[in-house]
Structure formats: C-alpha cells, structure tokens
Amino acid sequence: MPRRQLLLLILCGFFVGFFVAVELLGAKLFQFTLLGLSPSSFGLGEADVFVATTGIIAFPLTFIITDIVNEYYGKRTVRTLTFLAIAVNLALIPVVQSAMAVNAHDFATGGVDKQTNAAFITALGQSWAIVIASLCAFAVGQLVDVAVFAWLRARTGGRMLWLRAQGSTVVSQLIDTFIVIFFAFILIPLIANLFGGNLGVWSVGLAFTVSLTNYIYKFAIAVAITPLLYAVHWAIDAWLGKDEAARAIAEAHG
C-alpha cells in the first residue's frame, strides 16, 4: 500500500476513534483551573473553577487530525471524514443502548448485578438532546474549520502553519461550543416541551456563560498543542519523504 494511502487510513482511524470517545465520555463532568485562572478571573461570575465535560479531553486531538488531513488531503477529504465519524457515532447509538438495556450478571448471587446496571446507565446514558446538539455542532464546526483553514492557507501562500491551524480552530470551536450548549439546553428542550416534553430550559445568560467558559478551555488547549501539531507535521514529512509530502499538499490545494 502506498504510504500516502496508508497515512490517510491511520488518520481516519484516529479521527473517528477520538470523536467516538468524545461522545462516550461526555456524561462525566470535572472541574479545573487554567494555570490558576478561574471563570471569576475573566469576569464570568463568581466560580473558582471551570466545569466541563470529560469529552473535551479527547476533543482537542481531533483539531490536530483535522488540520493534518486538510493540509495533506484537502477539504473534501475532511468533509468525508466528518460525515463518516458522525455516521459511525449514529450507528453506535443502538449498540450502546442495547448494552445498557441488558441486565448485568452477578456470579456471586446468580442474579442481576444492579450496581453494574446503574453504573452503565450513569456512564453511557447521555441525554438525547446533548447527543443531537453535539452531532449538529460537530458537523457545522468542521465545515467552518476546513473553510477557514483553506482561506488562511491561500492568503499566506502555504506559510505559517500555526496561523491557519489555530485560526481555523479558534473560529470553528467558537461556533461549535455555542451551538452545542444553546441547542442542548435551550432550543431542543423548548421544541420538545411544545410537544409535551418536560425538559429543563436554561436561561440565555447561563448558556452564554457556560459556552464562554468551555470555549476558553478549548482556546487554551488549541494554543498549547501547537508544538504537537508541528511535531506531527514533521514526522509525516519525514515518513513520506519531502518530495512525496510536497506532491500531496500540491494535489490537495491545487
């Protein structure tokens, strides 16, 4: 198999894997500070810590893969991988739901292990509103990312990898973050309640604050992983060879 084709398969595998991990890890929340800085440091309320889903631990890794695929294979390939990742996630939903539905076996008693059942539901039983919002936000964010990346690459003549990588991420994740919060906690609950649902609806102010704090985290991580992006870029150039890497980039961007 040609190395360029093998590289695309490797990147595809990691991209889909990290995206699925983001969705599966999304039910758990954790708190943190950014080098001692908290939401109150940015004038975002009185909280002393940020609170975010553990899914965003894996999510920044998709930034690097998106930019690398865009660099060597072009925006059409990124779009294809995006819809492939969404399709895989949708296909896994009934699998995960089935895993939660069947009873866990307790070898000690020969009956049902209720504790394991409850743990599965707690860990994997995300709200359907969050899942829908997350998939919509991911699709829109990725399409914006590839467009901004291509625009910046054209304007800089292929120079300044950090600018097109971080610029596209900063813009796309701003949109992604606000879509997922406002869809999951305002728009979708409002629509569901019109048809007899009983979902809690956040205030616009709360949704804005949570979105902004999540975005600050993503922005900080995007900047922090810039050296990793260059390291991956260097490794690919070394593995493909300078001439082959240059041909791949030229074909991807005309």
Could you read off the pLDDT of 7-32 as tens digits, one per residue?
A: 999 999 999 999 888 888 877 778 88
Cα 254 versus chain centre, distance: 28
Q: Which residues contact 248 (CB under 8 A, 6 or more apart)?
A: 4, 72, 73, 240
Q: Please state, in angstroms and rounded to a whole number, the distance separating the CA atoms of residues 141 and 74.
A: 16
The CA distances from residue 238 to 9, 79, 179, 254, in Å, are 18, 26, 38, 22
Helix, strand, coil % (nearest 5) of the chain?
75, 5, 20
Q: What is the dihedral of CA 130, 91, 89, 145, to 10 degrees?
A: -110
Picking from 93, 163, 167, 96, the residue whose alpha carbon sits closest to that of residue 135 is 93
Quick check: pTM over 0.75? Answer: yes
CA–CA separation, 237 and 249 (whole Å): 11
Contacts of 30-39 with C-beta under 8 Å, sequence gap 24+, read 30/54, 32/217, 34/216, 34/217, 34/220, 39/209, 39/213
Q: How many domains does the chain have?
A: 1
Surface-to-core class of residue 93, CB atoms within 10 Å of its CB (0-12 exposed, 13-18 middle, 19+ buried):
middle
pLDDT on residue 37: 79
Place of tokens 């969705």: 23
Boundaries of domain holding 43:
3-253
| Residue 164 structure tokens | 């097109």
Give the model's pLDDT for residue 16: 93
* Residues of the chain predicted below pLDDT 70: 126-127
